[in-house]
Structure 1
């Protein structure tokens, strides 16, 4: 019970720090594509790490929930959800890139998509457990 409380407090602190960000491509609006790509390349690792941190906290909570209830259901469901998200993210952002028909902005659009989805995933996980 103490661990669940600690994890809940950590998620609350994480959520309080997280603010809704503008779309990555808007945040990186630059004079040319090189500047935009450079900016996005700086944002991507943080968005991915934030998502991984939120998933780790949620995974730990689901593991503890399964242990407390004696029913191994929440953690496997969460793992399935995480795999589905990763598959969706890859397919969706690949489609976004392809929608530029090989144009020079395809890579920018795809990277921006991954950043935005990772931010949304971490925000959603944080909201789910804080409420």
Structure 2
């Protein structure tokens, strides 16, 4: 991985936010918003950002996995990463739907679902970046 790619990755991690205070996107958004609509929009923007960051981190992880497969002359890391990403996406969607269901169909349901996706997405980016060679 080039120094530029590492610098970009660090920048993306900083954009997504990793402090303990940023654990709950709905709380982060309520600090600057006064209505549920504004909070929902803010959490939606956070979800978009984290999804874009996941794509970049996954691309870096795939490159690293491909380099490992080439170095070991095996074809195991890339397929394993693809399977893991697919399983993670299924888990994220199912778990966040469960989180939303705990709101009983109330007006905060969508905010809860999106906040859950942001939280899990942030963790996934950090996880993906930890495996770079």
TM-score relative to the length of structure 1: 0.85
Q: Distance in 2 between matches of 1:14 and 1:126?
A: 11
Q: Which residue of structure 1 lines up, in the alignment, with residue 34 of structure 2?
A: 31
The 5 A counterparts of 1:1-131 are: 5-6=1-2, 9-10=3-4, 12-17=6-11, 18-19=13-14, 20-21=18-19, 22=22, 23-29=24-30, 30-129=33-132
**C-alpha distance in structure 1 between counterparts of 2:54 and 2:4, whole Å:** 14
Q: CA RMSD in A?
A: 1.7
For residue 25 of structure 1, report the CA deviation from its aligned partner: 1.0
Kept after mapping to 1: 8 A contact 2:60/2:132: no
Q: Is the 8 A contact 2:64 2:132 kept in 1?
A: no
SS at match of 2:80: helix
What is the number of residues matched between the two proteins? 124
Q: Structure 1 regions of 5+ residues with no counterpart? A: none
The answer to whether the 8 A contact 2:61-2:131 is kept is no
| 2-structure distance, mates of 1:34, 1:87 | 28
- 8 Å CA contact 1:97–1:110 kept in 2: the answer is yes
For normalisation by structure 2, the TM-score amounts to 0.84
Structure 1: 4+ residue segments shifted above 6 A: none
SS in 1 for 2:74: coil
Structure 2: state its 5+ residue gaps.
Answer: none
Q: 1:42 deviation in Å?
A: 1.7
